[in-house]
C-alpha cells in the first residue's frame, strides 16, 4: 500500500514519536523510509546565519542519523537527506516528496520550541493543506500499532470524504481491520434553523445515505467487518469521542469537504481532530483538486 514513506525530523520529542510511527508503518508495509531535515538558514536567529549555520546543520544531521539508526535496527531500508532551502520548510518537504515518489508523509503536530517547525498552524498544517499524498500526524505520546484492528472514517458525502473512504477501505483491507464509518449531524447548524426538526431529519437522512454508500463499497471490496453510526453534536468532539470509546487505531479524514457547512475544512474539523485525538490521523485531499 505504501512504498516510500517520508519522515521530516527536527530532533524534537514529537518528531521522534512521529519517527517511531513512520518506522512501524514502513516495517508493516515493507516500505522504504526517507528521513530528512530541512535547514532554512533564513529562519535562524539574527547573527546565526554565518557562525550558527554549521551548528544547526550538525543538529539536523544528528536528528536524521538517530532516526536512521532506529529504522536500520528495525530492518527498514532508509534514505537520508539534509535539505538547505531558501523557501518555506513545508515546500521543501513537498518538493522532496514529489521528486522521490513518496506516497505517505508522517509528521508530529508540534516540534522544537523557538523555531516551532512542526507546530500545527505552521509546517504541519501547511503540509496537510497542500500534500497530494496522505499525511499522518501524531502527538508526542501517540503510539502507533501498524497491525490495526479498527480504522475510522468520518464522511459528509463530499468528494473529498469519498477519497478518504477509498483510502480507509484500502487500509482496512491491508491490515485486516474493522472499518468504522460515521456521519456527524452538527447540532449547532441545526438549531440555528427555524424548522429545526425538519432540518435535523433531512441531515440525518443525508447522513444515512452517505454511510450506506461507503458500506456498500466496503462490502464490495471485501472488508471483513464494518460498522456505521450517525452521530450528533460538534463534529470534531463526536469523532474524537468515538475514536476513544471504540479503541480506534487510525482516523482517516479528508482535508476539506462540503462547502457551506465546511465540516472537513482544514482549520475546522480535521485540524481540531488532529489537535485533540491521541489516535494517529491520516489526512488526504481529493485527487486532482486545487486549493
Give pLDDT, residue 258. 42
**Distance, CA of 116 to CA of 102 (rounded, Å):** 24
Alpha helices in the chain (DSSP H): 13-29, 48-51, 53-73, 89-99, 123-130, 159-175, 187-190, 196-221, 235-245, 269-276
Report the predicted TM-score, pTM, of the whole model to 2 decimal places.
Answer: 0.86
Under CATH, which number does the domain 150-284 receive?
3.40.50.620
Residue 209, classified by CB atoms within 10 Å of its CB into exposed (0-12), middle (13-18) or buried (19+), is exposed
**What is the pairing mode between strands 32-39 and 78-84?**
parallel
For 130, phi and psi rounded to 5 degrees?
Answer: -110, -15
Encode the chain (291 residues) as per-residue pLDDT tens digits: 999 999 999 888 889 999 999 999 999 999 999 999 998 655 455 555 555 556 667 888 999 999 999 999 999 999 999 997 666 888 999 999 999 999 999 998 864 444 444 444 478 878 888 899 999 999 888 888 888 999 999 998 888 899 999 999 999 999 999 999 999 988 776 655 557 677 788 888 888 999 999 999 999 999 989 999 999 888 999 999 999 999 999 999 988 644 444 444 444 788 888 888 989 999 998 776 444
**What value does the CA radius of gyration of the chain take, rounded to a whole number of Å?**
20
Residue 231, classified by CB atoms within 10 Å of its CB into exposed (0-12), middle (13-18) or buried (19+), is middle
| Residue 227, CA atoms < 13 Å, CB-side half-sphere | 13
What are the tens digits of pLDDT across the range 240-284? 999 999 999 999 998 864 444 444 444 478 888 888 898 999 999
Q: Among 166, 212, 165, 208, which Cα is nearest to 185's?
A: 208
The domain 4-138 having CATH identifier 3.40.50.620: the answer here is yes
Determine the 3-state secondary structure of 1 from DSSP: coil
**Distance, CA of 209 to CA of 34 (rounded, Å):** 40
CA 31 distance to own-chain centroid: 18
Our CA dihedral for 80, 84, 88, 89, rounded to 10 degrees, sits at 30
Give pLDDT, residue 175. 94
Give pLDDT, residue 50. 52
CB 34 within 8 A of CB 81: yes
Give pLDDT, residue 136. 95
Residue limits of CATH 3.40.50.620 in the chain: 4-138, 150-284
User: Residue with C-alpha cell 521528486?
Assistant: 99
For 34, phi and psi rounded to 5 degrees?
Answer: -100, 125
Strand partners, 39: 84
What are the tens digits of pLDDT across the range 112-132? 444 444 444 478 878 888 899
Give pLDDT, residue 164. 95
Amino acid at each position: 500500500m505504501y512504498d516510500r514513506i517520508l519522515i521530516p525530523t527536527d530532533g524534537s520529542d514529537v518528531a521522534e514519536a512521529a519517527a517511531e510511527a513512520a518506522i512501524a508503518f514502513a516495517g508493516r508495509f515493507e516500505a522504504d523510509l526517507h528521513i530528512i531535515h530541512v535547514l532554512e538558514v533564513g529562519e535562524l536567529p539574527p547573527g546565526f546565519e554565518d557562525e550558527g549555520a554549521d551548528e544547526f546543520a550538525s543538529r539536523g544531521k544528528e536528528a536524521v542519523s538517530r532516526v536512521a539508526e532506529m529504522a536500520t535496527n528495525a530492518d527498514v531500508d532508509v534514505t537520508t537527506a539534509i535539505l538547505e532551502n531558501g523557501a518555506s520548510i513545508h515546500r521543501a518537504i513537498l518538493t522532496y516528496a514529489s521528486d522521490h515518489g513518496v506516497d505517505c508523509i508522517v509528521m508530529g503536530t508540534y516540534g522544537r520550541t523557538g523555531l516551532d517547525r512542526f507546530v500545527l498552524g505552521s509546517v504541519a498544517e501547511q503540509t496537510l493543506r497542500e500534500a497530494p499524498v496522505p499525511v499522518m500526524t501524531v502527538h508526542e505520546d501517540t503510539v502507533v500499532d501498524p497491525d490495526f484492528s479498527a480504522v475510522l472514517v468520518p464522511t459528509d458525502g463530499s468528494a473529498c470524504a469519498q477519497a478518504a473512504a477509498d483510502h480507509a477501505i484500502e487500509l482496512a483491507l491491508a491490515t485486516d481491520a474493522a472499518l468504522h464509518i460515521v456521519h456527524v449531524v452538527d447540532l449547532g447548524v441545526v438549531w440555528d434553523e427555524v424548522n429545526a426538526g425538519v432540518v435535523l431529519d433531512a441531515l440525518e437522512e443525508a447522513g444515512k445515505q452517505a454511510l450506506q454508500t461507503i458500506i456498500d463499497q466496503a462490502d464490495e471490496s471485501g472488508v471483513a467487518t464494518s460498522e456505521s453510526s450517525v452521530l450528533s453534536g460538534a463534529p470534531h468532539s463526536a469523532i474524537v469521542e468515538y475514536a476513544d470509546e471504540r479503541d480506534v487505531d487510525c482516523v482517516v479524514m479528508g482535508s476539506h469537504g462540503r462547502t457551506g457547512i465546511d465540516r472537513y475544512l482544514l482549520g475546522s474539523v480535521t485540524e481540531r481532530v488532529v489537535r485533540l485525538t491521541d489516535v494517529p490521523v491520516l489526512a488526504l485531499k481529493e485527487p486532482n483538486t486545487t486549493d
